[in-house]
């Protein structure tokens, strides 16, 4: 669908599927992806007042089925259209299960100076209080404003504007499921207008060919009473790196130390926290298995990045071969 307007920004909507596009069918017990981008936008007449809208239905899947290949393709497609001047802003609509990962990948790869907005819905269109239309309207409002053109990719949900590097899905069903940890929200859509509260610092953008095979990065979480069996299994498998969500500010059991030291000699090992908010410490705790000890064994602190985003950044760095030493990888994480 293309809505031609004079003196309006041109916004392209990329639909990948998700709850926002789901409904029940004759043969399904629950909702499944079915509604196209054109159909979604046709039900929101207010869009015509905001922007010149072009819709695309590029995928029709649950976001748990999205892959790095999909993300790299999308980044390449957005880059091409932006460089050709065919859009002033982009809105990506997808399922919320992996929305934070897609936003962070786009934030890491896109060098375009146009608004990049990711949105979705927590409730399918047939449910009372469905939030999809309001989220699309807010996302298009944000994508039509140059105020966020240099903020990297953002997530717009429930009228809140989140930086990709801070946002997390923090609830399974609430329409206010998305929260910004460590940095707080960037702004909010108020009466249809974008109001900014803060900004994110610039970071180095990476670049990848859409056809590149993404490296295999393991992600594990430390839990009470664990032994080092998972570390030994990963050491024998064909992984290219690992991210460990450690206890607290970056602590692991002493029983892991021998295996983790050997593993850090084979591949990058990034240390993040399972706590959900706050940075990995680097110089406070001095006992065996604490952050000072672990860093001395070659583990790389993730800074404020949680395990999901640390996994993505490590994979991108390995794929682009931008950082090959522990010191180089550490420097990239410090710049977030």
Structural domains present in the chain: 9-196 (3.40.50.1170), 217-334 (3.40.50.40)
Of 4 and 96, the structure prediction assigns the larger pLDDT to: 96
Beta-carbon contacts of residue 53 (< 8 Å; ≥ 6 apart): 1, 2, 3, 11, 12, 13, 41, 47, 140
| Mean pLDDT score of the chain | 94
Are 244 and 268 in contact by the 8 Å Cβ rule? The answer is no
Is the pLDDT at 37 greater than 70? The verdict is yes
Query: Global pTM?
Result: 0.94
Round to whole Å and give the CA distance between 20 and 203.
31
What was the pLDDT predicted at 325?
A: 85
Q: Supply the pLDDT for residue 234.
A: 96
| pLDDT tens by residue, 201-253 | 888 898 777 677 789 999 999 999 999 999 999 999 999 999 999 999 999 99
Considering only 23-32, 154-163, 216-225, 234-243, which range has the smallest mean pLDDT? 23-32
* Beta strand ranges found along 32-129 (DSSP E): 32-33, 51-61, 89-93, 116-119
7 with 82: CB under 8 angstroms?
no
Percent with pLDDT over 70 in the chain: 97
Residue 322, pLDDT > 80, answer no
Output the pLDDT for position 10: 97
Q: Give ∠ CA 130-132-133 in degrees, rounded to 5.
A: 100
Q: Mind listing the pLDDT tens digit for each residue in 166-202?
A: 999 999 999 999 999 998 999 999 999 999 999 998 8
CB-facing half-sphere around the CA of 200: CA atoms within 13 A = 27
pLDDT value at residue 1:
41
Two structure tokens written together for 311:
């996994």
Residue 253: predicted pLDDT: 97
3-state secondary structure 166-234: CEEECCCCCCCCEEECCCCCCEEEECCEEEECCCCCCCCCCCCCCCCCCCCEEEEECCCCCCCHHHHHH
Q: Are 103 and 131 in contact (CB under 8 A)?
A: no
CB 242 within 8 A of CB 234: yes
The answer to whether residue 72 scores a pLDDT higher than 50 is: yes
DSSP 279: P
pLDDT band at 323 (very low <50, low <70, confident <90, very high): low
Residue 5 pLDDT > 60: no
**pLDDT computed for residue 41 by the predictor:** 97
């Amino acid at each position: 669908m293309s809505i031609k307007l004079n003196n309006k920004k041109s916004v392209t909507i990329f639909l990948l599927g998700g709850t926002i596009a789901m409904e029940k069918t004759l043969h399904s017990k629950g909702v499944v992806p079915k509604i196209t981008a054109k159909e979604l936008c046709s039900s929101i007449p207010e869009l015509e007042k905001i922007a010149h809208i072009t819709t695309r239905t590029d995928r029709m899947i649950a976001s748990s089925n999205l892959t790095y290949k999909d993300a790299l393709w999308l980044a390449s497609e957005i880059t091409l259209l932006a460089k050709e001047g065919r859009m002033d802003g982009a809105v990506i609509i997808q399922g919320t299960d992996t929305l934070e990962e897609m936003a962070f990948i786009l934030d890491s790869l896109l060098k375009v100076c146009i608004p990049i907005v990711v949105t979705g819905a927590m409730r399918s269109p047939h449910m009372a209080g469905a939030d999809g239309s309001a989220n699309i309207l807010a996302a298009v409002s944000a994508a039509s404003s140059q105020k966020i053109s240099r903020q990297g990719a953002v997530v717009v949900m429930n009228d809140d504007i989140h930086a990709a590097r801070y946002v997390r899905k923090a609830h399974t069903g609430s329409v206010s499921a998305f929260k910004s940890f460590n940095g707080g929200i960037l702004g909010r859509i108020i009466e249809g207008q974008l109001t900014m509260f803060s900004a994110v610092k610039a970071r180095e953008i990476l670049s990848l060919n859409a056809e590149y095979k993404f490296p295999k990065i393991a992600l594990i979480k430390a839990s009470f009473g664990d032994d080092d069996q998972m570390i030994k299994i990963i050491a024998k498998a064909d992984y290219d790196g690992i991210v460990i969500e450690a206890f607290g500010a970056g602590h692991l059991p002493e029983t892991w130390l021998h295996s983790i030291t050997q593993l850090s000699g084979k591949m990058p090992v990034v240390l993040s926290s399972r706590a959900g908010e706050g940075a990995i410490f680097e110089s406070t705790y001095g006992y065996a298995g604490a952050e000072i000890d672990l860093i001395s064994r070659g583990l790389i602190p993730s800074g404020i990045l949680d395990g999901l985003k640390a996994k993505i950044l490590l994979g991108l760095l390995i794929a682009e071969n931008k950082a090959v030493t522990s010191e180089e990888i550490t420097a990239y994480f410090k710049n977030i």
